[in-house]
A and B are shown apart, each in its own frame.
Chain A
């Protein structure tokens, strides 16, 4: 895992089912200078399965309809 603010193009995926939270987390992380992808209700994860992985995923545990921990398990099993 790369570290520190010196590297400008880290990619962080934020997953939450609340749009407001996604928005402020997105803005906060952008202020810090990171590349942020946000995704509602884990849709992004579906896309991730076919594409490349980000450097970091911020995942809400309580996603309506899906348990965050289950998603992590699925990801790790790959």
Chain B
């Protein structure tokens, strides 16, 4: 430093308030002495007392400088206004185990300042003890001593100047300490190179310094974040199911993750430093050269499907993506590879292909617009087209028209449709009844359809339908005649005095009614199986229906009193007669299976969406294991100790079907010995809304 004028003027011109605690960051000894001599010189001239706690060499330099400026230090020392002390010796007086001890510090420094301050003198202190501790690397000690000086400043009035060599703060690690020390001082004096600047420039320079410190803090945080990211990335690489490895431009492996160890059978130790061509089949050199040429050009080789050789010599199929790795200069220095073992996938694909080629079932693939993309031979055979003809016809073929609705159907929660019957047109124009199911692939971009030829089944069904029609007529006609003639006989013999004749005729009539009911049940069952049961669709007031049915069933029984409890005040949508049939079935069952009881109850209720009718009996109940089976056809509870009941065991099966077709539910609650309750729950009809009654097709 060639000049000290600006620094001196800085320290001299500003009146230094007592209690201020300044820090001087200096670039070298010369600049330090300039700053301290300005501080002390100004004090002596102003009649202040100055305490200088410094190294011997600094004291000597300072005194030479002050005397050169014309100050009489001997006189000042005699007057007690200039008190030079050795920094190391003074420090030793209160240092305990390398730490400044507060009580000793106060006992050492306090009297010195008190002595200097007599006659109401202002006191200036220059201290280098902190700098000594700092230079020894005792950062905590230095900062502790700073704190003690600050505390002392609250007890006694003095101005303190501390000095730190700037070099002590070089390196990022001390940035935070620098900031700490800066903040501990009420004023910061900058190195002389800064002090030559104007005040405004100085402020700016210091602001820059602060910014630098701040940006360094940020950089540290960023480096830590980067390291953290690297740790996370390393963990991802290690835990990946795909082989991930890197190589240089010569193909020498530089890293090798655990999936690579598993897939290729080589450990990292075995592979790192070896050429990647070790994994290539014998004829793989050309492939390797080609890949590396592309990498050198900075290109990425994506999803390259190829063969590799494991350590044990077996071949595997991999899909590998190779990306160039660039150095700091931007030049390609190597490559990273991510390889997936697709051996299993390929095997699966081959199997799917075999399945597709199967001639048991017709298979097609359609795109999201319902256009047919592929069809297997079985399907082509079915419709009588060759593949070439098919491709032409596919867009206009009647096949196409049914795919889209099926796909929309499959778009719901389940991606597989219920198999649906439809009709295809053969090349010859003939109609082909088929069963079609569609499975949408993920994201619905394509669908696979399965087509089953059901011509034979259809023919069989038609024969069965014809049989049902005929049997219906043939069985019912004689029974109708029987009942008709019986009615005539009853009329003719109405006046016969022998009451037994009338009684017998009545009994005959009852049996004929039972026979009629059985025939009707059998026919219903056949129709259900053939999907021919016809349902009307109308609004049905549940309370009225129940009242009516209860009344008519009551007429047939003398043993049981039928009661209705509650009201639903609701309507359902469906076939009144069929729903009535369900209620009749449940009520006659309730009577039939509770021979010892004298009543049965129909409970009615409803909520916002459902209407519930429950038929409760007081019979012997149904054991849990039968709860499901009683709804199966021809099933009857058969227990050795119990009386058996006549019947075909089809009433509940029919009722179940009817309720299901109305979108409802029929179930039983019962404990053996405690009666049974059959519940019928039906969707409530809501005005202005299309009822969803679950019956998908209406057969007129």
Q: Which A residues contact B (CB, under 8 angstroms)?
A: 18, 20-21, 24-25, 27-28, 31, 62, 64
Contact = CB atoms under 8 A, between A and B. Distances in A.
B488 A27 contact: yes
A50 B484 CA distance: 32
A24 B491 contact: no
Contact of A21 (B477, B487, B488, B491): B477
B313 to A, nearest CB: 80
Contact of A18 (B477, B487, B491): B477
Q: Lowest 8 CB-CB distances: which A-B pairs, in order?
A: A24-B484, A20-B481, A18-B477, A24-B485, A21-B481, A27-B488, A62-B473, A24-B488
A15 B491 CA distance: 23
Nearest to B485: A24
A28 B485 CA distance: 9
A24 B481 contact: yes
B480 A28 contact: no
A8 B660 CA distance: 51
15 contacts: A18-B477, A18-B481, A20-B477, A20-B484, A21-B481, A21-B484, A24-B481, A24-B487, A24-B488, A25-B484, A27-B488, A28-B484, A28-B488, A31-B488, A64-B473
A64 B477 CA distance: 12
Contacts, number: 25
Contacts of B478: 20
B473 A21 contact: no
Contacts of B487: 24, 28
B308 to A, nearest CB: 76
A24 B484 CA distance: 6
A2 to B, nearest CB: 24
Nearest to A21: B481
A31 B485 CA distance: 13
Contacts of A24: 481, 484-485, 487-488
A31 to B, nearest CB: 7
A64 B488 CA distance: 26
A28 B480 CA distance: 14
Interface in B579-629: none
The B contact surface, by secondary structure, is: helix
A67 B238 CA distance: 81
Contacts of B485: 20, 24
A21 B485 CA distance: 9
A31 B478 CA distance: 22
A52 B448 CA distance: 66
A60 to B, nearest CB: 10
Contacts of B484: 20-21, 24-25, 28
A64 B474 CA distance: 11
Contacts of A20: 477-478, 481, 484-485
A17 to B, nearest CB: 9
B491 A31 contact: yes
Contacts of B480: 21
Given A21-B481, A24-B488, A31-B488, 5 more contacts: A20-B485, A24-B481, A28-B484, A28-B488, A31-B491
Contacts of A25: 484
Contacts of B477: 18, 20-21
A62 B488 CA distance: 24
B532 to A, nearest CB: 15
A18 to B, nearest CB: 5
A18 B481 CA distance: 9
Interface string B474-497: 000110110011011001000000
A38 B488 CA distance: 17
A12 B25 CA distance: 132
Contacts of A18: 477, 481
Nearest to A20: B481
A18 B479 CA distance: 12
Nearest to A31: B491
A25 to B, nearest CB: 7
Interface in B434-489: 473, 477-478, 480-481, 484-485, 487-488
Nearest to B487: A28
B498 to A, nearest CB: 22
A25 B480 CA distance: 11
Contacts of A28: 484, 487-488
